[in-house]
Amino acid sequence: MSEEHRQSFEQTHDLDFAYEVNALKSRFRANIFMGRLGISAVFRIIPAEILTVEQLGLPQTVLDLTEVKKDWSWSPGRQEAENQPPLLL
């Protein structure tokens, strides 16, 4: 972590940054934050090659959601309350 990153964390108690390792063909994202038990961190590996929907094996319904033209939200509470199918808004 650079001095600039450290100073930013001291001021905001939160820091996001990325680090690229060409030999691994990946980037590493980091989020460092002040948790309730002290300093905590989350690290994620971001591969250089992004997989397609087909390569991920996602069902067609997930791909269909990318075609929705209006804003929508998932409302599972309606299904439980009224024994109805979930509502897409």
Phi/psi region, residue 11 (left: phi>0; alpha: psi -120 to 50; beta: rest), is: alpha
CA of residue 44 relative to chain centroid, distance: 9
pLDDT in tens, 60-77: 888 888 887 776 666 665
pLDDT band at 89 (very low <50, low <70, confident <90, very high): very low
Nearest in space to 19 (alpha carbons), one of 39, 40, 38, 2: 2
Tens of pLDDT along 2-11?
899 899 999 9
No. of helices (H) and no. of strands (E), the chain: 4, 5
Q: For the structural domain made of 3-49+56-88, what CATH number should be given? A: 3.30.450
